[in-house]
Amino acid sequence: MLFPQTNQCREIVNLDGLFQFAPNVEGDAELNDWTQALPKDAVEIAVPGSWNEQLRELHEFHGEGWYQRDFWAPAGWKGQRIRLRIGGTAGNAKVWVDGKAVGGHTGPHLPFEFDLSEFVEPGASHRLTIAVDNTLRYQSLPPGQARREEDRAGFGLGYPDVPYDFFPYGGIHRSVLLYATAMDSIENIAVETDYQETTGVVKVKLRLNGKSDGLSVKMNVDDQAVTLPVESNEVIGELTIGNVQLWSNRNPFLYTLKCELLSPDGALLDVYTLDIGVRRVEVQGDQLLLNGEPIFLKGFGKHEDFPILGKAWAPAVAVRDYDLMSWLGANSFRTSHYPYAEEMLSMADRLGFLVISETPFVSLSERVYTDDFRVQACHVIRELIQRDCNHPSVILWSLANEPYIESDAGERFFREMAETARACDSTRPIMYVAHEWPEQNRGAQHYDLLGVNKYYGWYHETGDIQGSLGKLVENLEAFHQQVKGPIMLAEFGADAVAGLHSDPPVLFSEEYQSDTIEAQYLKVRELPWVIGAHVWNFADFKTAQTINRVGGNKKGVFTRDRQPKLAARTLKRLWNDTDSDSFSR
């Protein structure tokens, strides 16, 4: 599924803005024909947006929210293929047009689309209804409830009851777009790039919609073109680029791949252009290599989180976040703990950030390692890789955050997730992010590298920054022995309440956070098999209410509204001066 674009063959109508909204508290929305009209007390709500902070009474609503709006399909779309595309919701979704069921999607954060050609009459008005269900269920991925004996995830016992440390916002979090193409059109493009000496190689797999005879596809990059006959709904082409400029964080050079679908008489039926980068990522021994050079990842674990907007895609916030990360000299971030908006990845392609793209599988424990969950999980991995594989900025897939894997079933679950990811994409290394000790990480052997989250000086060796360093190294070494490959310190840090100062540094002060980050960063830089250190977190963020979170998680180097704490200036110094080598941006 391609990100919608407007060009001479494609047109978009953006349906973002204010929708009518009603929470399905009684669970009888369909019985009461909400698919036709929402009840009279429906209110207005913004899309993209989370519902929890727009309206005070919805703060603790974690259920099925119903959205509705009317739209016009342009008269000029007669004879076109019309699609509805929803960039991502906070859970399962169902869609109706004029009361007729169009389809649904399982799982949060990833885009889905439907062919509405049969449902929509160009030049007429229609009613769109979308139900988004973020009920916190024990069976969803990630599971939404924590309070069970066998759960060991550390973030239970809060309100709402989630086994992870971020607020379970509900809503339509990405754009809702209607778009039209010719009936014969390009449905998907998957690109793999590599290079031999100075020649770039671009392999293109294109999927088509429609079945007219005699069609052809023209692919073009950097003045090289191939034209191929359409013999099935898949067309595979290969192009080369002479004197190739490689993509990297230092030189994010993008080429434009143009794919055209042509009728038998050569008329243009559809066209799609894609920014691509030629680069190679591999794990060799204890190193992570980008274009053959060892790279050290310095940056952050982040969240999609902002006051009032919740988890909504918000371009202004994204611009600010990249501005701040560039200011500090970060070269990378992880989309912890779920797939972020695609626009964020396109920005990373252009700006030169290295991205670890993560699935939504956070805090998995033994209870999910069943056949059903495995099938679901592998499906989500396929959807994620299909969405993100064309981004040169995405250098690694992280398939889970902090799972406990002790049983044979758990090991099999993680092996099959790894096999699925490799079958979808052989060009990127895979990892997951572990915690505790290697005994709880029986899946590690199936991955190319391992991320490890460590809060020595905070949850352990509390208050003792110097004492934390030995334990940190000991723990990372144990993982290194286990995987016999590179390790990344995927999270480390400490909470700091902005404005709280203390000399000597004590817990929760800006000084304590800053000193912890500096001491631990410099320590792990001495370990040749550590390929990166991401500070947790880029910014403070909202969590469930628990007695160990004061107004959310305060491990941000920036406040929730993106003002720097002391640690920000420390990192700027560390990453721009002390550690300013070829890894810097």
Q: Tell me the β-bridge partners of 334.
A: 301, 356
Q: Report, in Å, the least distance between residue 364 CB and ligand GCB.
A: 12
Catalytic, out of 53, 411, 491, 510:
491
> Hey, what are 530's tokens?
């550590």
For residue 553, state whether it binds ligand GCB (rule: CB under 6 A).
yes
How far is the C-alpha of 95 from the C-alpha of 178, rounded, in Å?
Answer: 13
> Hey, what are 577's tokens?
């001066």
Q: Report, in Å, the least distance between residue 508 CB and ligand GCB.
A: 13
Considering the complex, state which of residue 209 and residue 359 has its C-beta at the smaller distance from ligand GCB.
Answer: 359
Which listed residue (62, 555, 560, 585) binds ligand GCB by CB under 6 A?
555
Considering the complex, state which of residue 105 and residue 311 has its C-beta at the smaller distance from ligand GCB.
Answer: 311
Catalytic, out of 113, 402, 411, 416:
402
Q: Report, in Å, the least distance between residue 308 CB and ligand GCB.
A: 21
Q: Report, in Å, the least distance between residue 242 CB and ligand GCB.
A: 45
Q: Report, in Å, the least distance between residue 548 CB and ligand GCB.
A: 9
Going 345 to 350 to 353 to 354, the CA torsion angle's sign is: positive
Angle at alpha carbon of residue 460, lines to 454 and 466, rounded to 5°? 85
Contacts 24+ apart (CB under 8 A), 546-550: 546/155, 546/157, 546/158, 546/159, 549/158, 549/165, 550/497
Radius of gyration of the chain (CA): 24
* Placement of tokens 């203390």 in the chain: 502
Considering the complex, state which of residue 334 and residue 391 has its C-beta at the smaller distance from ligand GCB.
Answer: 334
Considering the complex, state which of residue 195 and residue 361 has its C-beta at the smaller distance from ligand GCB.
Answer: 361
Q: Tell me the β-bridge partners of 310.
A: 306
The residue sitting closest to ligand GCB, measured at its beta carbon, is 165
From 585, 7, 517, 5, select the one nearest 296 (Cα to Cα): 585
How far is the C-alpha of 237 from the C-alpha of 264, rounded, in Å?
Answer: 19
Going 237 to 251 to 451 to 301, the CA torsion angle's sign is: negative
Active site residue 491: yes
How far is the C-alpha of 401 from the C-alpha of 357, rounded, in Å?
Answer: 12
- Left, alpha or beta for 402 (phi > 0: left; psi -120 to 50: alpha)? left
Q: Report, in Å, the least distance between residue 170 CB and ligand GCB.
A: 19
Binding residues among 74-93 for ligand GCB as defined by CB under 6 A = none
Q: Report, in Å, the least distance between residue 165 CB and ligand GCB.
A: 3
Total number of residues binding ligand GCB (CB under 6 A)?
A: 10
Considering the complex, state which of residue 352 and residue 403 has its C-beta at the smaller distance from ligand GCB.
Answer: 403
Considering the complex, state which of residue 72 and residue 459 has its C-beta at the smaller distance from ligand GCB.
Answer: 459
* Placement of tokens 């994620």 in the chain: 384
Strand, coil or helix: 517:
helix
For residue 536, state whether it binds ligand GCB (rule: CB under 6 A).
yes
Under a CB-based contact definition with an 8 Å cutoff, are residues 180 and 11 in contact?
A: yes
Under 8 Å CB-to-CB from 388, ≥6 apart: which residues? Answer: 339, 342, 345, 357, 394
Which listed residue (53, 64, 161, 165) binds ligand GCB by CB under 6 A?
165
Considering the complex, state which of residue 64 and residue 161 has its C-beta at the smaller distance from ligand GCB.
Answer: 161
| Distances 373 to 109, 379, 443 between C-alpha atoms, Å | 18, 10, 16
Overall size of the chain counted in residues: 585
For residue 334, state whether it binds ligand GCB (rule: CB under 6 A).
no
Considering the complex, state which of residue 269 and residue 434 has its C-beta at the smaller distance from ligand GCB.
Answer: 434
| Distances 362 to 337, 339, 402 between C-alpha atoms, Å | 6, 12, 6
Binding residues among 415-474 for ligand GCB as defined by CB under 6 A = 435, 453
How far is the C-alpha of 454 from the C-alpha of 488, rounded, in Å?
Answer: 11
Per DSSP bridges, beta strands 11-14 and 49-50 are: unpaired
Considering the complex, state which of residue 415 and residue 460 has its C-beta at the smaller distance from ligand GCB.
Answer: 460
Q: Report, in Å, the least distance between residue 104 CB and ligand GCB.
A: 29
Which listed residue (491, 511, 515, 579) binds ligand GCB by CB under 6 A?
491
Binding residues among 384-403 for ligand GCB as defined by CB under 6 A = 401-402
Q: Report, in Å, the least distance between residue 455 CB and ligand GCB.
A: 6
Under 8 Å CB-to-CB from 459, ≥6 apart: which residues? Answer: none
Annotated catalytic residues are 402, 491
Residues that bind ligand GCB (CB under 6 A): 165, 337, 401-402, 435, 453, 491, 536, 553, 555
